[in-house]
Amino acid sequence: MDDMRKAVDRYPHSGTGLDSLLDLWVVIPDDDNDMPFVSRAVCVTVAGDFHVITARGSEIVVPLDVGWHPLRLRRVYASGTTGECIAGD
């Protein structure tokens, strides 16, 4: 049985459109579980490196400054992440 949480993509056909966000949540970095939903954007509140998995499954570490970033992410890892953010979909 798979106990890991997987992100739900509530907007699978809006990969590039970002007219408004319907929901926001504090991102709690987790090495084993996805966020509740795939983000449409993240607001970085503390700049740093973010070890992430994109909506399509690419794993990468990206440096991000404070501010809004139109990123479709399903996971932010605890290991390798030094910044803080909130996400929205």
pLDDT (tens, 9 = 90+) of the chain, 89 residues, equals: 456 777 777 766 655 556 678 889 999 999 999 999 999 999 999 999 999 999 999 999 999 999 999 999 999 999 999 999 999 98
Does residue 17 belong to any structural domain of this protein?
no
- Chain-centroid distance of CA 80 in Å reads 14
pLDDT of residue 12: 67
Domain annotation covers residue 64: yes
In this structure, what token pair is assigned to residue 8?
Answer: 């739900």
Sheet of strand 41-46: strand arrangement: 24-26, 84-88, 41-46, 67-69
Is residue 75 included in any domain, yes or no?
A: yes
What pLDDT score does 9 carry?
Answer: 73
User: In this structure, is residue 54 part of a structural domain?
Assistant: yes
Structural domain contains residue 9 = no
With respect to residue 3, please indicate whether it lies within any of the assigned structural domains.
no
Supply the range of the domain harboring residue 76: 24-88
Neighbouring residues of 47: CB distance < 8 A, sequence distance ≥ 6: 63, 64, 65, 66, 83
Number of structural domains in the chain: 1
Do 7 and 37 meet the contact criterion of CB atoms below 8 Å apart? yes
